Amino acid sequence: MHGHEKRNSPPQLRRGGAGQTIRFLDQHHPSLGCASAFPSSAEEGSSFSHKAILLLLLLCLTSCRQYMANQPSYKPYQESGFFPDGTSARPLPEGVIPQGLERTSTTSFPSPVTMDVLKRGQERFNIFCTPCHDHMGTGLGMVARRGFRKMPPSFHTDELRAVAPGYFFDVITHGRGVMPSYAYQISVRDRWAIVAYIRALQLSFDAAASDVPPEELTKLEREQR
């Protein structure tokens, strides 16, 4: 034989559409119940409309689930069987500052202030702060003198000498007045280094000779000669 042998389908299925196919299946396979599941004549259109409406309602129900709104969570002071102490309210880890809590009350530095920290703070201060605050922190930077109607405050006023270190850290982080936030440009460690250097500027601005260690005072005297 040449070519592929053609398969002859039953005559009942060659023409007649879906209705004749259903009648054929119902005659030869009555256990399938095709005739009752897909009625013909006028009932077919009505049944299809009812099924379409039912399917649409089911789709609407599936879109109304509240997984985000009804997610499992603890109520305030609710008992918990997961933690050993039995309470769901967990204490903050040591050293964590809650979001929204003012940091102006931070009266100490998070790490020791060493000479390396001061040098790093001086470097970052010269890059980010001197355009407005100048190298001495008097608020007479070139940008401020040429573009600001109101000059930045001097770090050497009695008010800013009395503030806690956390005040400067908060201003660098969130900004104040026309000063923007530097949280994205300056890391947390460098912000504290800048604060340490500002404290050093404040101490050195009106320092007396008696405040300088003797060996450092000798070096200064030699440099002045």
Under a CB-based contact definition with an 8 Å cutoff, are residues 110 and 95 in contact?
Answer: yes
Rounded Cα gap, residues 154 and 205, in angstroms: 11
87 beta partners: 79
Q: How would residue 197 be classed by pLDDT, with cut points 50, 70 and 90?
A: very high
3-state secondary structure of 79: strand
Q: Would you say residue 168 has pLDDT above 70?
A: yes
Rounded Cα gap, residues 202 and 117, in angstroms: 16
Task: Identify the DSSP state of 209.
Answer: G
Rounded Cα gap, residues 86 and 78, in angstroms: 9
- Longest Cα–Cα distance of the chain, Å, equals 120
Look at domain 115-224 and name its CATH class.
mainly alpha
- Environment class of residue 196 by beta-carbon count within 10 Å: exposed (0-12), middle (13-18) or buried (19+)? buried
Backbone angles phi, psi at 195, to 5 degrees: -60, -40
Query: Stretch 76-87: mean pLDDT, rounded?
Result: 86
Condensed to tens digits (0 to 9), the pLDDT of residues 15-71 reads: 445 555 556 555 665 655 555 554 555 555 566 677 777 777 776 666 556 556 667
Which residues, other chains included, contact 196 with Cβ-Cβ below 8 Å and sequence gap of 6+? 109, 113, 117, 118, 121, 165
CA atoms within 13 A on the CB side of 224: 6
Supply the pLDDT for residue 99. 62
Q: Would you say residue 79 has pLDDT above 70?
A: yes
Q: Would you say residue 171 has pLDDT above 70?
A: yes
Supply the pLDDT for residue 140. 93
Query: Stretch 105-117: mean pLDDT, rounded?
Result: 87
Q: Would you say residue 122 has pLDDT above 70?
A: yes
- Tell me the domain boundaries of the chain: 13-62, 115-224
Under a CB-based contact definition with an 8 Å cutoff, are residues 117 and 127 in contact?
Answer: no
Percentage of the chain modeled with pLDDT above 90: 35
